[in-house]
A and B are shown apart, each in its own frame.
Chain A
Amino acid sequence: MFRLLAGRFFSSLGTLFFVGLVLFALTRAGPGSPARIVLGADATSAQITQFEQANGLDRPFLEQYVTWLADVLRGDFGKSFVTGRDVAGEIVDALPVTLSIVLFAFAIALVFGVGIGIWAALRLGGPMASVTRLGVVLGLSIPAFWLGIVLIRFIAVDLRWLPPGGYAPLSSGLMTHLQTIAMPAISLAVYYIAVLARMTQASLQEALRGDYVRTARAMGLSSPRIVVYALLNALPPVINLAALSFGYMFGWALIIEQVFNIPGLSRALLNAISQRDFLLLQGIVFLFTAIFVLANLGADLVNRVLDPRQRAAA
């Protein structure tokens, strides 16, 4: 068991190492070297050489990457060439904002997605089946950022129920905090509610057709107990999909933050792009990639623990 987990863990780390290398190479592929960007167009070549030596940019590419990665794993994302500020500090400032939106959206998506999926699977056929199906297709098709714009118009501008944008941290009170993240989180969650509902429904319906369900019925087990057994068997693909969703949500959160004018990682990333601040950009993108990889690893581990067959095989 332990060896299998360790194997899976190290293969994830290997993936992250490889993907990080690609990221590192791509951020250097843009026009202009970091030295040229920082020192300006009229810097002499002596100045550039000096800058590159001072910042280790003259070292072999792979060595630069490994040094950077080792620092990142120790929590040191480097100091921005452009602003002179600590990259880790900037990420730590902005991450809680993005994280609170994503976590809230993820909670909504899990509760409603899995809930609707179970409900739909148990009420097979009937007029509500078409309604659910239509709802799922709508949820899959409405872009989150457009939903955000529509919500701002109706909920904030017309009804004045919630502020149209901005962000209040948790320290300014739970209600104030929730008021600012409610609409962003809902806009973000709708697509994932649809994705998870569809997967839960399909997987549970499949499980309910299993022989063991028929046997359990024949033995006179109560319906709720049968559903619980079937649900346990239906969960693994849902858990995998939920982990993928969690990782992808950070990407869409960037767009949503723009719509609601929220000072999260989106602003930091777009600033990094416009100022050509490589280290900040690398830091943020690497962080998101790590979250994505680790979320998927987590889902695998949960599934292994849930599934007695996989436990026995390990």
Chain B
Amino acid sequence: MNRLIQLVRTADWTGWLGAAIVLVMLGAAIAAPLIAPYDPVAINIEHRLTAPDATYWLGTDQAGRDVLSRVIYGARASLAVGIGAVIIGALIGVSAGLFAAYKGGLGDQITMRIVDAIASIPLLVWAIAIVGVLGVGPVAIGSLQLPNEVKIVTLIGCLFSPVFARVTYAVAQRIVSADYVKARYLQGASHWQIVTGDVLPNCLSPIIVQATLLVAIGIVIEASISFVGLGVQPPQPSWGTMLSDARNAIYSGEWWLPVFPGLAISVTVIGFNLLGDAVRDLFDPRHEARTLVA
């Protein structure tokens, strides 16, 4: 709570801008059916390729679908994949990092070698290839039909996990050997109590920093995979597929088709990056989190 108050006081305006953008995008994604003016998949040939006007604020596409509604609904796919992948990556990575640091010895060695191996996988190439192999159809678990995005979320999540494993491991290793943790053990605290009560809370700051910055990367990856036709499947709207559909418009002059989905991606990613930077300056002044690249 003290930290929250500190955040409110010290964060500069870029951090606030980032937080505002993230909140607006999250709101748009959650409340899409309430705020979208039209059905995002409704085809209306009469009004196809309308330039932005009072009726269609951001214009319409080749099938007469409202671009604004599609951009709003597109936030769902982007944020769901970005945030979902980070959650999966954090669950796997943090558990692995905690296990390796706490266990030590052979278990530590094996776990961190596997983490190294996963970290030596070029993310985007593998994501494209593996979704390509598995096919873009829905995933059936029993009678439950899950969309193609589930594969992408899981895949990106697994490939994100080394980032979390490494920051957790780095901090946890230092905590585990601290005297107060030994004292807790002598007091009779169980392994579980020590790991969740003493070790994990100390690792949270760099984890949160990485999580925020990784959402930004996840969003761009989802858009890219959808752009080559292996992500969100039409007619469902996603920023990546909208840009892919807009490729012909580059020559014919319907500028609004490539501009708005691209802006939506960029603004959202800027939001997460600004927020991530602010959180880093605040929570992680020694920069224990690594520089991310994808």
Contact = CB atoms under 8 A, between A and B. Distances in A.
Do A and B make up one complex?
yes
Interface of A: 12, 15-16, 18-19, 23, 26-27, 29-31, 133, 137-138, 140-143, 145-146, 149-150, 152-153, 157, 164, 192, 195, 198-199, 202, 237, 241, 244-245, 247-248, 250-252, 254-255, 258-259, 269-270, 272-273, 276, 278, 281, 284-285, 288-289, 292-293, 296
Nearest to A270: B228
A5 to B, nearest CB: 18
B266 A288 contact: no
Given A140-B269, A146-B258, A259-B247, 19 more contacts: A30-B135, A133-B14, A141-B216, A143-B224, A143-B265, A146-B266, A149-B243, A149-B246, A149-B258, A153-B258, A195-B293, A198-B291, A248-B123, A252-B224, A258-B228, A269-B129, A276-B133, A285-B129, A296-B120
A230 B130 CA distance: 44
Identify the 4 closest CB pairs spanning chains A and B, nearest first. Answer: A251-B124, A273-B132, A146-B262, A141-B269
B61 interface: no
B274 to A, nearest CB: 6
Contacts of B224: 143, 145, 252, 255
Q: Which among B122, B230, B251 has the highest number of chain A CB atoms within 10 Å?
A: B122
Contacts of A157: 250-251
18 contacts: A16-B120, A18-B117, A31-B134, A133-B14, A145-B227, A149-B247, A192-B293, A202-B291, A248-B294, A251-B125, A254-B125, A270-B132, A270-B228, A273-B230, A276-B133, A285-B125, A289-B121, A292-B121
Contacts of B230: 273
B122 A258 contact: no
Contacts, number: 143
SS of B interface (majority): helix
Nearest to B127: A251
Interface string B239-281: 0000100110011000100100010011001100110010000
Contact of B133 (A149, A202, A258, A273): A273
A145 B121 contact: no
Nearest to B123: A251
A293 B118 CA distance: 11
Contacts of A278: 133
Nearest to B287: A202
Interface of B: 14, 116-117, 120-126, 128-130, 132-135, 216, 220, 223-224, 227-228, 230, 243, 246-247, 250-251, 255, 258, 262, 265-266, 269-270, 273-274, 277, 287, 291, 293-294
A86 B277 CA distance: 48
A137 B116 contact: no
A31 B135 contact: yes
Q: Which among B116, B227, B262, B291 has the highest number of chain A CB atoms within 10 Å?
A: B291
A26 B277 CA distance: 36
A255 B227 contact: yes
Q: Which among B123, B270, B293 has the highest number of chain A CB atoms within 10 Å?
A: B293
A153 B250 contact: yes
Given A143-B223, A252-B124, A241 B293 contact: yes
A150 B266 CA distance: 13
A289 B129 contact: no
A257 to B, nearest CB: 10
Contacts of A284: 125, 129
A18 B255 CA distance: 47
A289 B129 CA distance: 12
A143 B220 contact: yes
B132 to A, nearest CB: 3
Given A254-B128, A269-B129, A281-B129, A195 B291 contact: yes
Contacts of B266: 141-143, 146
Contact of B116 (A15, A31, A143, A292): A15
Contact of A292 (B122, B128, B223): B122
A140 B216 contact: yes
Contacts of A23: 126, 129
Nearest to B268: A141
A148 B269 CA distance: 17
A137 B277 contact: yes
B122 A289 contact: yes
B134 A137 contact: no
B291 A237 contact: yes
B232 to A, nearest CB: 15
A199 B266 CA distance: 21
Contacts of A269: 125, 128-129, 132
A268 B123 CA distance: 18
Given A153-B255, A258-B228, A288-B122, A281 B293 contact: no
A180 to B, nearest CB: 17
A141 to B, nearest CB: 4
